[in-house]
């Protein structure tokens, strides 16, 4: 392996820089509200990132992959949220595509909400909503109609006022292909009553349900659009940092150990199956084995960007790797 020093070269993947810079407001807000430890974690998140430049043995194509980095994993870190969302989207899309191959299914989008609670009641309200959804999903009508689901929790809305929260579920439902013409079809009015009964609150005025369709002026399929929509950030960064110090502090404390995503039915089964599918795992290993690392690039964060510190050029040797320092 040969080590080369190439100063002043900037990382040519702007998303890494954009997400890193987006954390600045959060870092200051955390520090202001007394979360010094969390502020330092986010500040140091992924400051050193090692990328692997790889070449395909057959096609000679090249690609760059993140090899390692020390990410903070703080719930509201923009970088970690971005990475977490990408992983969820990838896993969810793979499972749904596999389900779509093996079953004749449709996908619908359901949104469930309750009256906005005060921010200090957020945790208790979410627990109550989770219990209510479990109760609704165990009804005969739901079991007959719904084959599986992905449920995502969002706790703020676009116009959530003052010291209130707006917890609501975005749910991707998997139903049979003939669902809309079958006797198992559940209308919007019926879903509303089911949610009222489950929450024991007849004052709830609406639930939103719609069939998933491709977005206009987009190259994404309907399924891809649905996955990206339902697996988006549980808390919008701009909404969070604009909150008062009191509300901001309450949100951080109220959401500790809170689950924001869950699966059920055939979707949960498929995700677990894909994790354990030895043939698929071996296939992925075989595919990855065709990519050979030719360079290791080490970038460090400084002065508002990721600068290349050094490149380790991988040399093929029969028995050993040689490190030459310039």
Q: pTM value?
A: 0.83
**3-class SS letters over the chain:** CEEECCCCCECCCHHHHHHHHHCHHHHHHHHHCCCHHHHHHHHCCCCEEEEEEEEECCCCCEEEEEEEECCCCCCCCHHHHHHHHHHHHHHHHHHHHHHHHHCCEEEEEEEEECCCCEHHHHHHHHHHHHHHHHHHHCCHHHHHHEEEEEEEEECCCCCCCCCECCCEEEEEEEEECCHHHCCCCCCHHHHHHHHHHHHCCCCCCCCEEEECCCCCCCCCCHHHHHHHHHCCCCCCHHHHHCCCHHHHHHHHHHCCCCCCEEEEHHHHHHHHHHHHCHHHHHHHHHHHHCEEEEEEEEEEEECCEEEEEEEEECCCCCCCCCCEEC
Greater confidence, 221 or 63? 63
- % of the chain exceeding 90 in pLDDT: 54
* Overall average pLDDT of the 26-53 stretch: 96
Task: Label residue 145 by pLDDT band (50, 70, 90).
Answer: very high
Task: Label residue 288 by pLDDT band (50, 70, 90).
Answer: confident
pLDDT recorded at residue 222: 75
Greater confidence, 73 or 5? 73
């Amino acid at each position: 392996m040969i080590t080369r020093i190439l100063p002043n070269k900037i990382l040519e993947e702007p998303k890494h820089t954009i997400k890193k810079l987006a954390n600045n407001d959060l870092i200051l807000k955390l520090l202001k509200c007394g979360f010094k430890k969390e502020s330092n974690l986010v500040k140091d998140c992924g400051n050193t990132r090692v990328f692997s430049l790889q070449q395909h043995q057959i096609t000679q194509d090249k690609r760059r992959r993140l090899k390692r980095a020390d990410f903070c994993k703080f719930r509201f870190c923009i970088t970690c949220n971005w990475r977490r969302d990408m992983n969820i989207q990838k896993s969810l899309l793979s499972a749904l595509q596999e389900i779509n191959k093996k079953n004749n299914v449709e996908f619908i989008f359901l949104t469930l909400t309750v009256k906005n609670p005060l921010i200090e009641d957020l945790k208790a309200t979410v627990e109550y909503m989770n219990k209510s959804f479990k109760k609704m999903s165990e009804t005969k009508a739901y079991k007959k109609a719904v084959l599986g689901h992905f449920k995502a929790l969002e706790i703020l809305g676009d116009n959530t006022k003052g010291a209130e929260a707006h917890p609501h579920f975005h749910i991707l439902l998997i139903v049979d292909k003939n669902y809309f013409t079958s006797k198992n079809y559940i209308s919007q009015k019926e879903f509303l009553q089911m949610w009222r009964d489950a929450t024991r609150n007849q004052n709830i005025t609406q639930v939103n349900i719609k069939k998933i369709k491709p977005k206009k002026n987009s190259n994404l399929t309907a399924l891809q659009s649905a996955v990206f929509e339902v697996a988006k950030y549980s808390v919008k960064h701009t909404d969070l940092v604009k909150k008062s110090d009191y509300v901001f502090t309450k949100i951080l404390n109220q959401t500790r150990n809170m689950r924001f995503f869950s699966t059920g039915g055939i979707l949960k089964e498929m995700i677990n199956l894909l994790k354990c599918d030895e043939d698929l795992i071996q296939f992925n290993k075989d595919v990855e084995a065709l990519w050979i690392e030719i360079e290791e690039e080490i970038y460090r964060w400084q002065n508002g960007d990721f600068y290349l510190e050094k490149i380790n050029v991988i040399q093929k040797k029969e028995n050993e790797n040689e490190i030459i320092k310039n």
